[in-house]
Amino acid sequence: MVVDNILAAIDVLANGHALLLMAVGVAAGLIAGAIPGFTIAMAVVLTLPFTFGMSAHLGLATMVSVLVGGLSGGLMAGILTGIPGTPSSVATTFDGFPMARNGEPGLALGIGVWSSFCGGIISAVLLMTLAPQLAKIGLEFNPWGYFMLVMFALTITASLAGKNMIKGLIAGALGLLLRTVGEDEAAGMARFDFGSDALLGGFDFIAVLIGLFAFSQLLNDVRDPEKAKKSLTQRSSIQIKIEHRRAIAEILKRWTIVVRSSLIGVFTGILPGAGGSIANILAYDQAKKASKYPEKFGTGIADGIIAPESSNNAVEGGALIILMALGIPGDVTAAIMLGALLMNDVVPSPSFISDEPVLAYSIFISFFIATFMMLGLQSVMLRIFVRVTKIPMYVLASIILGFCGIGVFALHNVGFDLWTLLWFGILGFTMRHFGFPLVPMILGVVLGNIAELNLARALAITPDLTPFFTRPWSLFFMIITIFSALFPMFQGHRIKEKTWTLFYLPTACFAVSLPLFMMGGVTRPALAAFLFCFGTYLLWQRKQNGWRYKA
């Protein structure tokens, strides 16, 4: 069955047209990822209009290619200029740039490219193996559980997305509210149309995404008139040969860092809201802590490039696992992928992999192929990267704003979508300026109707609200929602050693063990018993310490 699906997916993608589109996607992603100020999400969202005329398989394969290219593109700018191309390659500059300045830019790039490749492959393997298994668990969710899962995704995104959780939660609620504008899907009644026919159709999801993310980002990039006129580099050419053999040898010597960092990347990606920007720093920090020579980090050592580059490429596999298995986007790029699926009338849910096996496996396979393509195209794109970075930011921003106009109109041939783009561009820019994170808002817009539909389904089964507390999965997600909401406060108070923080983790263990016990079977109650024992042990340990963290 799995082999049949893989073969069917390969059949769809193994043709000149598909491979060409994917190669163009990887190349575009590499360039977009390499330009500081341009995010991967922006590159992926701007690819959407091009894919509307394609089949779902081809469109998604192209977008996955842009995504894979973008994840790897950031390292070129980071290593050669010291300015990370994307937030997910910040830690790469810590050792990549010093290594390049020490006279080994070819080796630094080689290590970066091959680490990205390894991270991508490990993540693709986990995506292919974990997503179908997780989807089987997802099929156990009922409307109560699914509703609470959405609430959990929004809460944890808000708590991870910014400095202040309240702002993150407000942004998430705003996204949910704006999604309700237009006809509601359950009853078909007009909501918040304020007498306007255009608002009756609601805001187009893609126009909202492009406005919030791409439009507002471009305005941010040109805010400073002097910086807007400058180009990233004045170099006219680049004579660097990527040292593949030496890089492979260096990576093989440090394979444990590759595996550990890739796993950090995948599991960070699985967590909604925590993307590559967190994973690369986390992996770098772990590599440093586990190293026998931590003092050398920051001076230009291979370990410091391998860790962030393996992890940031692995992140997207994790985010796609959750998207494809549960229909919940792990980050903004996964939210855009969800938009692409919706555009093709495919609604991601736990039954997605079983309902659309060829499409699902074509996403897996395109992730693999794009990772290989990235390896081959990196050297070629290095030359183009230098040329692109000579173009001043204001030129790039003007062209892309012009393209946003054409692309958004082309999606539905509706003029109102362009106004949506403008208003949401202004809103996104203002929110950025006032410190409101955009990711929870985007997830709110994406997940709003999923939450409402599941709430409506739950209430249609029974108007009673007690199943939210008595159904195991609903209770499970409710508990982790509450604990994730309290987490930022816990972190802040933990440093001050406030007494209540001593009980946070044990209470979380006890609380989570309850729904696990209720789920039945063998594994989950066993896990619940373990959590219960662990919570008890933590309490005992803290009592021994005189209700302090350390005696």
Partner 1 sequence: MKRLNRDSIIAIALLVFCGVFFWASFDIRTPNYGVLKPSAWPRVIIGIMSFLSLIYLIQSLKGNPNIATAGKSDREPGFRGWVDYWRNPLWCFALFFVYLALLPILGMLIDGILFVYVLMGVLGGWDGKKPLTHAYIAVLTIGFMWSLFTFGLGVMLPSGIFMDPI
- Please give the Cα distance from 480 to 321 (Å, whole number): 20
Query: Is the Cβ–Cβ distance between 368 and 65 less than 8 Å?
Result: no
Indicate the residue type of 348: P
Listed in sequence order, the residues at least 6 apart from 319 whose beta carbon sits closer than 8 Å to its beta carbon are 269, 270, 275, 329, 330, 331, 333, 334
- Compute the least distance from the CB of residue 528 to partner 1, in Å: 31
Structure tokens at 210: 């492009």
Nearest distance from C-beta of residue 521 to partner 1, angstroms: 32
> For partner 1, which stretch binds (CB under 8 A), given 5-13, 48-56, 334-342, 501-509?
48-56
Nearer residue to partner 1 within complex by CB, 355 or 464: 464
Site for partner 1 in 106-165 (CB under 8 A): 163-164
158's tokens:
């808000």
- Least distance from C-beta 170 to partner 1, angstroms? 5
Which residue in the set 16, 434, 495, 550 belongs to the binding site for partner 1 (CB under 8 A)?
434
Task: Kindly write down the DSSP assignment for every residue of 470-498, as one continuous string.
Answer: HSHHHHHHHHHHHHHHHHHHHHHHHHTT-
Query: Element (H or E) spanning 190, and its range?
Result: strand 190-191
Minimal distance, residue 436 CB to partner 1, in Å: 9
Among 228, 238, 346, 482, binds partner 1 (CB under 8 A): 228
Q: How far is CA 145 from the centre of its chain?
A: 23
Question: Is 491 a residue that touches partner 1 (CB under 8 A)?
Answer: no
**With binding defined as CB under 8 A, does residue 20 bind partner 1?**
no
Q: What is the footprint of partner 1 within residues 161-180 (CB under 8 A)?
A: 163-164, 166-167, 169-170, 173-174, 176-177, 180
Identity of the residue, 95 or 452, whose beta carbon is nearer to partner 1 in the bound complex? 452
401 scored as a contact of partner 1 (CB under 8 A)? yes
Smallest distance from partner 1 to CB 289, Å:
27
Confirm if 127 and 333 have CB atoms less than 8 A apart: no
**What's the token pair of residue 163?**
């400095």
Is 186 a binding residue for partner 1 by CB under 8 A? The answer is: yes
Closest CA to 189 of 202, 203, 206, 207: 202
- Phi-psi map region of 242: left, alpha, beta (phi>0 left; psi -120 to 50 alpha): beta
Least distance in angstroms from the C-beta of 241 to partner 1:
32
Q: What is the smallest separation between the CB atom of 17 and partner 1, expressed in angstroms?
A: 13
What span, in angstroms and rounded, lies between the C-alpha atoms of 311 and 157?
A: 19
Please state the φ and ψ torsions of residue 41, each to the nearest 5 degrees. -60, -40
Task: Determine, following the binding rule CB under 8 A, whether residue 204 of this chain makes contact with partner 1.
Answer: no
Instruction: Among 2, 395, 529, 533, indicate the residue that binds partner 1 (CB under 8 A).
Output: 395
Q: Is the Cβ of residue 455 or residue 514 nearer to partner 1 in the bound state?
A: 455
Total chain residues near partner 1 (CB under 8 A):
64
- Which residue, 292 or 434, has its beta carbon nearer to partner 1? 434
Residues whose CB falls within 8 Å of the CB of residue 510, separated by 6 or more in sequence, listed in order: 531, 532, 535
Residues lying near partner 1 in the complex (CB under 8 A) are found at 49-50, 52-53, 163-164, 166-167, 169-170, 173-174, 176-177, 180, 184, 186-192, 194, 218-220, 222-225, 228-229, 392, 394-395, 397-399, 401-403, 405-406, 409-410, 413, 415, 418-419, 422, 425-426, 429, 433-435, 451-452, 455-456, 459-460, 463
